[in-house]
Chain A
Amino acid sequence: MKTLKKYFIALAAIAVTGGIYSCKKSFLNQVPKNSLIANFSTASDAEGALNGAYSLMANSGAHYYDWDYIIDGDVRADNCYSGGSAPDIDGVDQFTSVPTDNQPITEDYVELYQEINAANILIDNVPNIKDPALTDTRKAQIIGEAKFLRAYHYSHLVRNYGGVVLQLHTITVDPDVNKARSTAADVYAQVEKDLLDAEAALPATFGTTAESHSRATKGAAEAVLAKVYAQEGKYQQCLDYCNKVLPATFGGTNALYALLPNYDWCFDGQHRFNSESIFELEHTEGTVTHGYAQGLILSPQVTDQYFTKFVVPTHDLVKAFKAAGDNIRYKSSIFWEYNGPKSANPTPSPYPYGANDTIPYVWKAGRTWPGSWSGGSSDPITLVRLADIVLLKAEALNVLGQTAAAIPLVNAIRARVSLAPITVTSQADVALAILNERRLELAFEGERWYDLLRYSTQYTITLMNSQVDGSGKNLNYNMDAHRLIYPIPQADMDNNPKLVQNPGY
């Protein structure tokens, strides 16, 4: 019966072979080993993804919260020239940008959506985590932090690009990739909703002082809500939310925050997690989370890097500081440097080459510069600061007709930097005084352009078209209303047939 034996051997072998494959269903399911797959399941996965969501804003590959927000808020406005030799930043400064190929306009749009995606991954996945190590409280907090971040990024997108596409899920959850743009109102509505959710979910403080400033907190959500309401023109809500953030000194109810006694402490890199900082980004020296771009802004001698620096204070801003007699904030904001022979040609336009012995440079961020290109600055960047909210409340009160109540708030900010109280009293004059106060207080903090837009779009257009260089010659910006927002980057127009370009571009 040898044949039979063979037959059985063969059958057995074939059965075994077939069986092994089909039994091991996991054989074909190989998952990446060097990275996490996006639908994660543990508490530490969630915390890691949240750490990454913050890291994306601060790491050396990110530009928006490193310096591009200053390009949008200060270079586009009358606070800074583009400096350097970057035609794309010139395009922002001089209102000549085109949808195709403008680097900051395109990159910021890309980056903010990447950061929104990082938040969406948390919002999509964290609710499904069954890991007992993740308490319900912490789960709600993580979602709250993610919603805060998403809202914060959208608030920047909407004020720069108008109504943008609302992507509220990762594309694995929502595979409809070609979405039409929402209206600005819809985007703001979503931002408000996320921030209100965040406000409800987030604690006022975390376990450490550091985390209470570097993470999204209830206070941070409220402060950003106040800013968003203001930008929408909802000044009553803005006022209410300012009061939720402000200490009693300024008519608020929150004891966590207070103005620092010394203005310069906000920027010297030596006072992390101070009482005036509501939300800040952390940098660490020599790692991927260092501040990189300050090397492009800080003066050549400070950085030991001799090329034409970017984002250079305008003659107009220097004049404004001088006109106000504002020496303290002037010195904290601007660093004058003699362009010695060591630098081949570092003079940023429109400061004429050879005509100025000294050039003003931005001096508000990254002062702790290690002197090595790869290292970068370890200084934090304060994104939401109490002084902003104080002045915002003044603005809200004034717009709401409570001008008299607004004036002491402005004067409190002025008092810190040894300036006399303002003398104007009419609603219109106070509005202009607040606008100017914000300019000097918040220079190079990415606020000026949006302050101008809130004040008056027509005023903004007129103001920009009247800008002159050092010799008093008009800079001929020739900007008009369509330039109040950026174009949608052509790269996205090309990818998504449903997009409609902003008017005028």
Chain B
Amino acid sequence: MKFNFMVVPVKRRHLFKYLLAMKLTAVIMFTFLLNVSAKTFSQTINIHQSNVSVEKILKLIKKQSGYNYLYEVTATARTSKIDIDVTNSSVENALDKCFKDQPLTYKIFQKTVVVKARDNEEMQQPADITVKGKITDKASGEPLAGASVRVKGNSSGVATDASGNYSITAPDNAILEVSYVGYLSVEVPVSKNQNVNIALETKGGNLNEVVVIGYGSQKKKDITSAISVVDMSDVKERPVLSVAESIAGKVPGTQVLQPSGKPGADLTVFVRGVASLSGNTQPLYVIDGVVAYDTRSIDPNNIESISILKDAAAAGIYGAAGSTNGVVLITTKKGSKGKTRVDLNMYAGDQQITKKLPLLNSRQLADLLTQEEVNAGNTVFSIPDSTISANDNNWQDLIYRKAPTTGINANFSGGGDKGTYNFSVGYVDQDGIVITSNYKRYSTGLNLEQQMNNWLSAGAHINYNRTNYADIYDNQRANYGGVVLSALTTPPFSSIYNPNGDGTYGYNSFSQGWPNPLADIYGQNNQTVANNILGEGHLQIKLPFHLSYRSQFGITLENAYNTVFQDPRLTDGAKSLGGIASYNTSENFRYIWDNTLTYDQHFGKHAINAIIGTSASKQQDQSSAQSGYGFPSPDIHELSAASNYTTNQTFQDEWTLESYFARVNYSYDDKYLLTATVRRDGSSKLGISNQWGNFPAFSAGWRVSSEDFMKSVTAINDLKLRVGWGATGNLPADLYPSYSQLSTGNNYAYDGTTIVSGTAPSSQAGNPHLRWEETKQFNTGVDISLFNSLLNVTADYYIKRTRGLILPVQQPISTGVSTVEENLPGYIQNKGFEFVISANIIRKTNISWTASYNMSFNRNIAEFPAGTSPIYTGYIQDIGGNAGIVKTGLPLGSFYGYVDDGVNPQTGNINFRDINHDGKITPDADRTYLGSALPKFTFGFNNQFSIYNFDVDVLLDGVYGNKIFDATRMEMEAMTELVNQTTAVLNRWQKPGDITNVPKAVYGNSAPANAVPNYSISSRWVESGSYLKARQITLAYNFKSKWLENLGITKLRPYFSLQNLFTITGYKGYSPELNATSNYGGGSNVATQMGFDHGTYPEAKGFTFGINATL
């Protein structure tokens, strides 16, 4: 529209007054800031200048006319230098000449000239020119294929070809933005300059790198909170099945654990410790703006970038939805303008168990069992030689295998002037190291962006995958069907098949209830098929006044069914019932609708980016469970054929979250940076009277290096100090803690036969006052870039206190209910220091070495008011009660039990320590703190070498100072049951005088005279969990040849990668990362039950051979 107030139609004048008032308000504020005032008055202008800036001319006109000037500084930023020659001219005439060919316009209000940028459509379009050039790596001079080149202000662009060449149509005097993954982005003006070659510098202290933040993006140099960006370059070099795997070892303040070695198993991620007792402890995942509570829908190959928001100032914009645990922001790959680009990654590999445990052979076990019985005073029994010599099975050899993995991922991207696309398909097939276990995933993703016109753009993105998962049972004792423990405890002389010759799998020779591991594995066919969809559609409207409006509607849908069939031909149990089948389904659907209004503007040295928004989301879950037994044929598994039904259930629930938020980023002169955020959330998960909560956050940064006094310090390229404080929230795990409920199924038959349905109070009563778990976090940090960005350091210190911890609190029995979910007094504190140092150690043309080392120290402590009863947790199935404790003054993940002071050489029993000094060992009272599963520090060391055409990538990581409760060893060294044991028990006490740390073998769980049995939960089973792991080592070769280029292959890169090549640890079990209890309860009890190894599926090591190619 024209900048012409006088011809505004009458009916719109009212609105214009409003607009004008708004504008003038801004203008007046600006006047104040510039402290400009009119002093003298003159009506004619005389200027004779050449090659001067518009600003200079404006100043001259002002001086001569006495007119005051108001202008938006950014408006002049794109002006070019001009020549001007006016004599005795009017102000208007001088301005006209001055602004000719400039993207500016003006209006005079009495004695004030308001200068502003011309609206795009009325700007005189400079003639488009074609700009060509080559993009190269600054260090090596090698061309960069696939670099993105676009005109500033346009969303579309082109990509460089194989030789690094590009060609783009741009208005004269446009500015080109050039970016490439791993390199610093640059902006180059192209005025009259039709051949622009650009050498890009590799990332290091990449200050202009754009980082994805909540509801937007920000340049790294402007960030004032604790945000880490994950280097994703290695994801294409190894079979990475999950997002968490791609984060492991790389990010300070983020610990990634692989609690199970099952293919496709969920990983545990802790961002800055653990801060909840019963709620979620895992980070919130936001995938292309869609809040997701896991990443199952994502193939890591489709990920463009991952940012981890660690402190409250960064994560607070996500409020109560779980931001206390950090937020992992994921963006998927988008297309860019240019010809279609195809990236391929194909690989195949093999995996195997990292180690096997040394077990007793048949003869050694027979001796042990005889001794157990004798020591227990039972009738001496002897195992006949014929039994002992019948078999000598090492069951580990029978269940573990070399497990192949294959995968392929293809990515197609491109775009035209108005739209871009990215399409990907992938497939992975990974066998587990335990026979029959397998994970297959078929994935596809589509990402579309379209510029509809100059004010409207829209896009959509959808990820779909389907997984087929064949599972085996672990984390269970052998008598509960746990395969891993069964392989360890089943005696070597037990036979694979039952001796009766009916083809069913056999048992532990001494107990019909303890199937051998092959019976567990083959006895039940456990298959899960899941469909995951994550998608979003959005539209973005460009508004006047530097506003833009965006509306995004996203969904996540997970639909799964699980079938288990126990074949009557294979196990006794299934045989007796004629086959057992179960069929369970679940569907979790969530939508989230976000609407945001963004303001982005610069005034002189002031830059403001502000956003306000709303968000609403709703999750709906449905599940069903059916089971039955008695099938006419073992080949029919459908429940409709069963003769008896044992379960027939359906469930439904839903919950909602409604949010309002705002954020302002302000910077002055790129030196002083401020961010303020506020979010208001309401959720159905909370007490009716406390559904709403507010989450403010503030942070500030000071770029010391931009100060004048630092200009002379050339060694420092960048130095920024950051400080922030804010609040984040966490929701209860329970969906309806606010309501007292009456449970169904409490049926009755008044006449003894006709059942009428009834309801009875559930054991938990509602708490209408339940509120969020709220975390207040203080963070301060520094970013330093030294020696031409050769060395970069980011360090942060934080204190994070979580209050209002939600826990089901025991009620007086007389209330008739057992618990109410309440917000506990007291808090959990996580205090820590973390840093990452990255260095370009060698930076030669053909040889380079970049290294990044990160380290995180976190101290966790629970503080509750005096008199608060401890919570006992970490229940070890059948064999010893609770091994964990939550108690004031101790960290979460604490182990609790007796202290093993060695074996009494006279009795062969353990001398437990008399903790309370009452002269005797008192059950329970003599237990104490035995260490915590939380490490003192974690570290990661990531190296990338480039030697001519070879790349080498080495990722090491580790933890130090954590403890593991080795309940697997409890099974394997207790010597109280008629099961196999590890060779550690060969050192057992056998006669008075024996000096050893392994007590005597006694059958049964009886306590000796000291009242505490030898196998009790004690320091005997607590081990150091420290480790250093070679997570991945990759060697790759880059083919560089004209011949390939002529074939259209711009990149051909075979690679060989080793995963988990070695782990240096003192831990005696399979792997120090495993955790059984995190798998018991779907992750909700992770916080209080960490570091338990109890027959968990072992981790694998392996190699992969693959090829990356770009067409």
With contacts A56-B760, A121-B761, A177-B812 taken as known, whether A289 is within 8 angstroms of B755 at the C-beta atoms is yes
Known: A32-B736, A171-B815. A215 touches B750 (CB 8 A): yes
Q: Is the CB of B614 within 8 A of A48?
A: no
Distance, CA A60 to CA B656, complexed state (A): 37
The answer to whether A49 and B747 touch (CB under 8 A), given A55-B758, A289-B755, is no
Whether A33 contacts B812 by the Cβ 8 Å rule is no
Flag the segment in B290-298, B484-492, B646-654, B698-706 that touches A: B646-654
How far, in Å, is A71 (CB) from chain B's closest CB?
19
Q: Mark B701-745, 1 if CB is under 8 A from A, else 0.
A: 000000000000000000000000000000000011001111111
In the complex, what residue of chain A is closest to B616 when comparing beta carbons?
Answer: A21
User: Are B739's CB and A37's CB within 8 A?
Assistant: yes
> A462 near B: Cβ within 8 Å?
no
On whether the beta carbons of A35 and B744 are closer than 8 Å, the reply is yes
Contact (A117, B12) CB under 8 Å given A38-B742, A51-B756: no
Pairwise interchain contact A167-B12, C-beta atoms closer than 8 A: no
Chain B minimum-CB-distance residue to A109:
B813
In the complex where A4-B15, A28-B658 touch, is A51 in contact with B812 (Cβ < 8 A)? no
B658 touches A27 (CB 8 A): yes
Chain A 155-173 residues near chain B, CB threshold 8 A: 164-165, 167, 170-172
Whether B871 is near chain A, meaning CB under 8 Å from some CB there, is no
A37–B203 CA distance with the chains assembled, in angstroms: 58
- Cβ-defined contact, A49 with B810, below 8 A: no
Interface pair B748/A282, CB less than 8 Å apart: yes
Question: Are B653 and A32 in contact, CB atoms less than 8 angstroms apart?
Answer: yes
- Whether B749 is near chain A, meaning CB under 8 Å from some CB there, is yes
Q: Are A10 and B597 in contact (CB under 8 A)?
A: yes
Q: How far, in whole Å, are A20 and B766 apart by their CA atoms in the complex? A: 29
Q: How far is the CA of A115 from the CA of B913 in the complex (A)?
A: 45
**A208 at interface (Cβ–Cβ under 8 A)?**
yes
Does B752 contact A283, Cβ atoms closer than 8 Å?
Answer: yes
B613 (CB) vs chain A CBs: closest residue: A17
Residues B541 and A59 in contact, CB atoms below 8 Å apart: no
**Chain B residue at minimal CB-CB distance from A5:** B455
- Which residues 745-776 in B have Cβ within 8 Å of A in the complex? 745-753, 755-763, 765-766, 768
B904: Cβ under 8 A from any A Cβ:
no
Bound-state CA distance A485–B747 (Å) is 33
Q: Which A residues lie within 8 Å of B817 (CB)? A: 114, 117, 171
Nearest-Cβ distance from residue A172 to partner chain B, whole angstroms: 5
| Interface residues in A337-378 (C-beta closer than 8 Å to B) | 378
Interface size class of B (residues with CB under 8 A): 35 or more
**Docked-complex contact A492 and B740, CB < 8 angstroms:** no
Residues of chain B with a CB closer than 8 A to A165's CB: 812, 814
Q: Are A18 and B655 in contact (CB under 8 A)?
A: no
Selected from A30, A177, A380, A491, the residue in CB contact (under 8 A) with B656 is: A30
**B739 nearest CB neighbor, chain A only:** A37
Tell which of A10, A55, A115, A178 touches B549, judged by Cβ atoms closer than 8 Å.
A10
Most chain A beta carbons < 10 A, residue from B12, B652, B688, B816: B816
Q: Which B residues are CB-close (under 8 A) to A28?
A: 656, 658, 682-684, 691
8 Å CB contact of A214 from B616, B652, B750, B813? B750
- A1-55 interface with B by 8 A CB criterion: 1-4, 6-7, 9-10, 13-14, 17-18, 20-21, 27-40, 45, 47-55
The complex places the Cα of A115 from the Cα of B814 at a distance, in Å, of 10
Specify the chain B residue showing the minimal Cβ separation from A58: B748
- A51 contacts B813, C-beta separation under 8 Å: no
In the complex, whether B544 has a CB less than 8 A from a CB of chain A is: yes
- Note all chain B residues with C-beta closer than 8 A to A9: 541, 549
Contacts of B340 in A (CB 8 A): none
With A13-B549, A18-B614, A171-B815 as known contacts, state yes or no: A33 contacts B757, CB within 8 Å: no
| Cβ-defined contact, B761 with A51, below 8 A | no
Task: List the A side residues contacting B119 at CB < 8 Å.
Answer: 3
Interface size of A in residues (CB-CB distance below 8 Å): 82
Residue in chain A with minimal CB distance to B743: A35
B811 at the interface (CB under 8 A from A): yes
> How does the 8 Å CB contact mask read for B669-698 relative to A, with 1 for contact and 0 for none?
000000000000011100010010000000
Question: Is B543 an interface residue, CB under 8 A from the partner?
Answer: yes
Q: At the interface, yes or no: B1 with Cβ under 8 Å from chain A? A: yes
Interface flag for B547 (CB, 8 Å): yes
Shortest Cβ distance from A55 into chain B, in angstroms?
A: 4
B500 within 8 A of A: no
Whether B761 contacts A7 by the Cβ 8 Å rule is no
List the B side residues contacting A214 at CB < 8 Å.
750-752
Asked if A179 is at the interface of the complex by the 8 Å CB criterion, the answer is yes
Indicate whether B542 reaches chain A with its CB closer than 8 angstroms: yes
The answer to whether B544 and A40 have CB atoms under 8 Å apart is: no
Residues from chain A with a CB closer than 8 A to the CB of B541 are 6, 9-10, 13
CB B596 to nearest CB in A, in angstroms, measures 10
Distance of A51 Cα from B749 Cα, bound (Å): 8
Given A28-B691, A37-B741, A494-B869, decide whether A51 and B758 contact each other with a Cβ distance below 8 A: yes
A1-B12, A2-B455, A55-B760 in contact; A272/B654 too (CB < 8 A)? Answer: no
Cβ of B595 under 8 Å from chain A = yes
User: Which residues of chain A have C-beta atoms less than 8 A from B654's C-beta?
Assistant: 30, 33
Contact A287 B755 (CB under 8 A): yes
Tell yes or no: A455 within 8 A of B by CB: no
Whether A164 contacts B736 by the Cβ 8 Å rule is no
Residues of A within 8 A of B740 (CB): 37-39, 121, 170-172
Binary per-residue interface labels of chain A (461-497) against chain B in the complex, 1 for a CB within 8 Å, 0 otherwise: 0000000000000000000000000000101101110
Chain B residue with Cβ nearest A48: B759
The interface bits of chain B over 583-596 (1 if a CB of A lies within 8 angstroms of the residue's CB, else 0) are 00000000001010
Nearest to B756 among chain A residues (CB) is A51
B551 close to A (CB within 8 Å): yes
B761 engages A118 (CB within 8 Å): yes
Taking a contact as CB atoms under 8 Å apart, the answer to whether B758 and A52 are in contact is yes
In the bound complex, residues from chain A placing their C-beta under 8 Å from that of B748 are: 51-52, 54-55, 58, 282, 289
- Minimal Cβ-Cβ distance residue in B for A113: B816
CB distance from B8 to the nearest CB of A (A): 10
Q: From residue 468 to 515 of chain B, which have CB atoms closer than 8 A to chain A?
A: none
Tell me which residues across on chain A come within 8 A of B818, comparing CB atoms: 110
Residues of chain B contacted by A50 (CB below 8 angstroms): 758
Asked if A172 meets B595 with Cβ closer than 8 Å, knowing A35-B742, A55-B760, the reply is no
Q: Which residues of A contact B653 (CB under 8 A)?
A: 30, 32-34
Q: Per-position contact with A for B544-557: 1 when CB-CB < 8 Å, else 0?
A: 10010101000000
Residue numbers in A under 8 Å from B811 (CB-CB): 171, 177, 495
CB < 8 Å neighbour of A288 from B121, B747, B812 = B747
- Contact call A17/B551, Cβ cutoff below 8 A: yes
Contact flag A56-B544 (CB < 8 Å), given A30-B684, A32-B741, A118-B816: no
A37 and B742 in contact (CB under 8 A), knowing A6-B544, A495-B811? Answer: yes
Beta-carbon contact of A10 and B547 below 8 Å: yes
Once the chains bind, are A495 and B739 in contact (CB under 8 Å)? no
A33-B872 Cα distance, complex, nearest whole Å: 32
B749 cross-chain contacts in A, Cβ below 8 A: 282, 284, 287, 289
| A36/B614 contact (C-beta < 8 A), A28-B683, A117-B816 known | no
Q: Report Cα–Cα, A272/B766, bound state, in Å.
A: 39
Q: Judge if A224 is at the interface, Cβ distance under 8 Å.
A: no
Is the Cβ of A33 less than 8 Å from the Cβ of B652? yes
A211 part of interface (Cβ distance < 8 Å): yes
Query: What is the CB-to-nearest-CB distance from A85 to chain B, in angstroms, rounded to a whole number?
Result: 14
A4 and B11 CA atoms in complex are apart in Å by: 13
Contacts of A13 in B (CB 8 A): 541, 549, 551, 595
Residues of B within 8 A of A45 (CB): 759
Q: Which residues of B contact A (CB under 8 A)?
A: 1, 12, 15, 119, 121, 455, 541-544, 547, 549, 551, 593, 595, 597, 614, 616, 618, 651-656, 658, 682-684, 688, 691, 735-736, 739-753, 755-763, 765-766, 768, 810-818, 820, 869
Can you list 17 A-B pairs, Cβ within 8 angstroms, ordered by A?
A: A27-B618, A30-B656, A48-B757, A52-B742, A52-B761, A53-B760, A113-B814, A171-B811, A171-B816, A171-B820, A172-B768, A178-B812, A210-B750, A210-B751, A288-B747, A289-B749, A495-B813
